[in-house]
Chains A and B, each alone.
Chain A
Amino acid sequence: KNQVEQSPQSLIILEGKNCTLQCNYTVSPFSNLRWYKQDTGRGPVSLTIMTFSENTKSNGRYTATLDADTKQSSLHITASQLSDSASYICVVSAWKGGSQGNLIFGKGTKLSVKP
């Protein structure tokens, strides 16, 4: 069964500190992996997308990594800001033929950045 597991479930850090969120998946055949940021009371917003051949991709202070062999991804946030407080959702696309895929959503990691 295709699954996406995220850890930790929640995390509290101090402003200015770094943190890393984890995503493990058992999705086959793998197409791509996205990280979304969801602010409280808002819809998710895409941060980055990674393909099988990409190991690292950055978007400002956000850096995503992908290890397709171990089926793990991480999202590293550098020099956290109060505005980083949100849920971070890992989404893996299972390829189903042509350019089509099914999206499998993780439950998310809730990050709280405290002053």
Chain B
Amino acid sequence: NAGVTQTPKFQVLKTGQSMTLQCAQDMNHNSMYWYRQDPGMGLRLIYYSASEGTTDKGEVPNGYNVSRLNKREFSLRLESAAPSQTSVYFCASSAGTSTWETQYFGPGTRLLVL
């Protein structure tokens, strides 16, 4: 039982390049989330998927797109990377979107945009 896994662990991009961050969970959770964590700031929600087939914007969605490929997988795409997107990206999952649900986080992807 691996929990939430993310690939890659680390990535360097040049401005304007595109890439997709992958996330998968094996806990049969319905809801999945993408966050970014920047120095001196709290985690901020980019996008979330309450259930398979649905996605919604979070607090900072600009510059990102997401795909809920199936119940297990939720990917985050940067179409044209910018230095402001340098950050650590965390994927999380929970059984549901109730405020009482515990979110389980992956190990993170460290992205550097030059």
The 8 Å CB contact of B43, one of A31, A32, A89, is A89
Q: A-B contact count, CB below 8 Å?
A: 48
Shortest Cβ distance from residue A85 to the other chain B in the assembled complex, whole angstroms: 18
Query: When chains A and B are docked, how far (Å) is the Cα of A95 from the Cα of B99?
Result: 7
Q: For chain A, what secondary structure do more than half of its interface residues adopt (helix, strand, loop), or is it mixed?
A: strand
Chain B: residues with Cβ within 8 Å of the partner, total of 19
Query: When chains A and B are docked, how far (Å) is the Cα of A49 from the Cα of B99?
Result: 11
- Within 8 Å CB of A107, what residues of B? 40-42
Check B105–A99 contact: CB distance below 8 A.
no
B102's closest neighbor in chain A, by CB?
A46
Query: When chains A and B are docked, how far (Å) is the Cα of A38 from the Cα of B26?
Result: 21
Shortest Cβ distance from residue A3 to the other chain B in the assembled complex, whole angstroms: 10
Chain A: residues with Cβ within 8 Å of the partner, total of 23
Query: When chains A and B are docked, how far (Å) is the Cα of A102 from the Cα of B40?
Result: 21
The 8 Å CB contact of B108, one of A34, A43, A99, is A43
Check B107–A41 contact: CB distance below 8 A.
yes
**Residues of B that sit less than 8 Å from A by CB:** 4, 40-45, 90, 92, 97-100, 102-103, 105-108
Q: For chain B, what secondary structure do more than half of its interface residues adopt (helix, strand, loop), or is it mixed?
A: loop
Shortest Cβ distance from residue B104 to the other chain A in the assembled complex, whole angstroms: 8
Check A89–B42 contact: CB distance below 8 A.
yes
- Within 8 Å CB of B45, what residues of A? 103
Check B102–A106 contact: CB distance below 8 A.
no
Shortest Cβ distance from residue B25 to the other chain A in the assembled complex, whole angstroms: 12
Check B103–A41 contact: CB distance below 8 A.
no
